[in-house]
């Protein structure tokens, strides 16, 4: 039997939840179709650090950060590098999104109970010109409660709508095709998958036990990106970033499979900017994996020394936390798909954060006491210490000779020369006591410590790497970690999808990562961070409101 509703939302991640709840708030009936079990509601956002991009917030002002819409737009344009005809709608989405982040976004979230950790993070610091990539000021606002804290208000609203009979959850329902009549999208059909008891985020079975068909005037595709499908990542890998890595770790669960993107294309939707993506270079293998090939991204503070596989220090401005894609391009240009951090216990303690809700139990559980220990503790946070002792990519030794020997053993090669690495570390160490240093990374350390947030919890007091008082020495092998899809379905400012002929496909909307976070790629080539969750919030809201009007 075919079920009907006013709108169908495909995907129960953040973007889908936002779109669905905007529709039900307007009194519309919605079917939310999700291939995973109920336990995975919230998709990737649940696992996220919950960092959101806000501009000129009270949190920034309290920390002495002067931000403005104009500065943020300057930074966005410098990072996006829009340079294609297809960037017409993405750029308009970017304009609307930056205005949202500088305007209504914080109050809208706050009214739903969302709260922010008071120290604002400084991601993607750039390091070249004022008109090039990077955040001129700290703007990464971590959700109090991390990813689950951001999902919570939308899940609550969705469950309230379900209790009122406005929203029907259809878990373990996988969409296999869109129903299209005379170019108009009228519904979805697919397979009912067998029930699953796997824990949240784990891979579930794809065994089919039935089929279904749902019809509605509006279908909103909120199915996420391609980061869990390494074949698709390699297929779409841009030449400008070198050859695709042979080895990658997965920063996303297996359900980020990209399958629905092909299905929506087959129904007439147009994908643009498929070669734009956002993968990290500081991935470490999770010693306690949840999904296949599970990698965790280190959110690095600015002090670690960064070496390529042959032991050459990465050039200016490629220091930790400055320019993700610049680093990726450089590393792939070395002919190897990994690189190394070398640091001290003092640095790991203050500067290593791991991206992911489960890696930050203090923030995720909203414990002020546990979170305050970040500033006062003798050791690094417990999850970081656990990686240090159990992580396959971590090496800890008391002296450099032993460290380099162990790094070679880990890599299974003799690419690293102790003398070469030592000479570069000693040269950098000579610059530490020198206030007029010419080492740009050390200049960056002094700059970072002028920001109280960094001084408190993100940047170690400058010290010599080879000073035993700050030991032991630590090396971390850094892998490429797949994460975000920056391209996606081209849409107008109502999130309505364009077809290949340039006309809107009636009835079809796309949001979140499936729509390149808005319009088909509002980030252009690069992100300022915190803009992915933000793009899901914004595009979900836009689509939900527009579809509610359209379905009458
Ligand atoms: C560990 C981690 C940390 C992160 N940290 C941050 C951060 O701090 N700040 C930030 O801005 N971003 C962050 N991100 C990125 C951000 O979380 C994601 O980009 C965003 O949540 C994507 O949301 P989405 O709703 O578009 O897609 P998803 O969350 O991927 O949800 C899509 C849903 O659609 C379902 N689906 C797919 N195909 C079908 C189908 N055919 N039928 C039915 N259902 C289907 C999937 O099962 C899934 O549940 C992080 C991501 C991760 C994994």
Centre of ligand 1 to C-alpha 133, Å, is: 25
What is the pLDDT at residue 293?
Answer: 97
Centre of ligand 1 to C-alpha 254, Å, is: 11
The answer to whether the bond into 472 is cis (omega within 30° of 0) is yes
pLDDT tens, residue by residue, 153-207: 999 999 999 999 999 999 999 999 999 999 999 999 999 999 999 999 999 999 9
What is the pLDDT at residue 275?
Answer: 97
Determine the residue of 8, 10, 13 to mutate for testing ligand 1's pocket, defined as the one with the most ligand atoms within 8 A of the Cβ atom.
13
Contacts of 61 (CB under 8 A, 6+ apart): none
Q: Whose CA is closest to atom 52 on ligand 1?
A: 48
**DSSP structural state of residue 299:** E
Please indicate whether residue 45, judged by its CB atom, sits closer than 6 Å to ligand 1: yes
Pick the atom of ligand 1 nearest to 43's CA: 29
DSSP labels, 158-181: HHHHHHTTSEEEEETEEEEEEEEE
Give the DSSP H/E element, type plus range, for residue 285: strand 277-285
What is the pLDDT at residue 451?
Answer: 96
pLDDT surpassing 80 at residue 375: no
What is the pLDDT at residue 380?
Answer: 86
3-class state of residue 223 by DSSP: coil
pLDDT tens, residue by residue, 392-447: 999 999 999 999 999 999 999 999 999 999 999 999 999 998 889 999 999 999 99
Please indicate whether residue 512, judged by its CB atom, sits closer than 6 Å to ligand 1: yes
Average pLDDT, the chain: 97
Q: Whose CA is closest to atom 49 on ligand 1?
A: 43
Centre of ligand 1 to C-alpha 13, Å, is: 5
Centre of ligand 1 to C-alpha 203, Å, is: 15
pLDDT tens, residue by residue, 21-56: 999 999 999 999 999 999 999 999 999 999 999 999
Give the DSSP H/E element, type plus range, for residue 15: helix 14-25
Distance of CA 258 to the CA centre of its chain: 16
């Amino acid at each position: 039997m075919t079920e009907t509703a006013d709108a169908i939302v495909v995907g129960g991640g953040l973007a889908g939840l936002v779109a669905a709840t905007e529709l039900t708030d307007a009194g519309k009936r919605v079917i939310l179709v999700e291939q995973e079990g109920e336990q995975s509601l919230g998709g990737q956002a649940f696992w996220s650090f919950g960092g959101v991009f806000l501009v000129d917030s009270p949190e920034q002002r309290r920390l002495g950060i002067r931000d403005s819409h104009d500065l943020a737009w300057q930074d966005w344009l410098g990072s996006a590098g829009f340079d294609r005809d297809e960037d017409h709608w993405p750029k308009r989405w970017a304009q609307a999104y930056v205005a949202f982040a500088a305007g209504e976004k914080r109050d809208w979230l706050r009214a739903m109970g969302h709260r922010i950790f008071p120290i604002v993070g400084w991601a993607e610091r750039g390091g070249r010109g004022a008109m090039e990539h990077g955040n001129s000021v700290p703007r990464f606002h971590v959700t109090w409660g991390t990813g689950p804290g951001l999902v919570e208000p939308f899940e609550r609203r969705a469950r309230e709508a379900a209790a009122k009979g406005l929203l029907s959850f259809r878990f373990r329902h996988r969409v296999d095709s869109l129903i299209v009549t005379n170019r108009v999208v009228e519904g979805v059909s697919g397979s009912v998958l067998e029930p699953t008891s796997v824990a949240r985020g784990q891979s579930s079975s794809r065994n089919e036990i039935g089929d279904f068909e749902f019809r509605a005037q509006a279908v909103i595709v909120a199915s996420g990106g391609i980061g869990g499908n390494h074949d698709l990542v390699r297929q779409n890998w841009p030449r400008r970033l070198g050859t695709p890595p042979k080895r990658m770790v997965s920063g996303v669960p297996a359900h980020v499979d990209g399958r629905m993107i092909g299905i929506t294309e087959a129904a007439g939707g147009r994908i643009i900017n498929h070669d734009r993506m956002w993968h990290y270079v500081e991935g470490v293998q999770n010693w306690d994996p949840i999904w296949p090939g599970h990698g965790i991204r280190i959110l690095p503070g600015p002090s670690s020394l960064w070496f390529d596989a042959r032991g050459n220090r990465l050039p200016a401005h490629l220091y930790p936390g400055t320019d993700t894609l610049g680093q990726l391009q450089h590393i792939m240009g070395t002919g190897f798909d990994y690189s190394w951090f070398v640091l001290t216990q003092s640095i790991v303690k203050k500067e290593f954060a791991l991206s992911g809700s489960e890696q930050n139990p203090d923030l995720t559980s909203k414990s002020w006491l546990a979170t305050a220990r970040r500033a006062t503790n003798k050791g690094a946070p417990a999850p970081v210490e656990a990686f240090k002792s159990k992580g396959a990519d971590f090496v800890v030794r008391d002296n450099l000779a032993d460290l380099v020997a162990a790094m070679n053993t880990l890599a299974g090669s003799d690419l690293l020369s102790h003398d070469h690495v030592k000479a570069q570390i000693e040269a950098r160490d000579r610059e530490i006591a020198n206030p007029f240093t010419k080492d740009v990374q050390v200049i960056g350390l002094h700059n970072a410590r002028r920001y109280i947030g960094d001084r408190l919890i993100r940047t170690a007091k400058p010290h010599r790497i080879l000073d035993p008082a700050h030991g032991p020495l630590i090396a971390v092998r850094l892998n490429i970690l797949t994460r975000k899809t920056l391209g996606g379905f081209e849409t107008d400012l109502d999130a309505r999808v364009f077809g290949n002929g340039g006309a809107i496909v009636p009835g079809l909307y796309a949001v979140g990562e499936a729509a390149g976070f808005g319009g088909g790629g509002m980030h252009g080539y690069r992100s300022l961070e915190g803009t992915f969750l933000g793009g899901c919030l914004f595009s979900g809201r836009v689509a939900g409101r527009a579809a509610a009007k359209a379905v009458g």
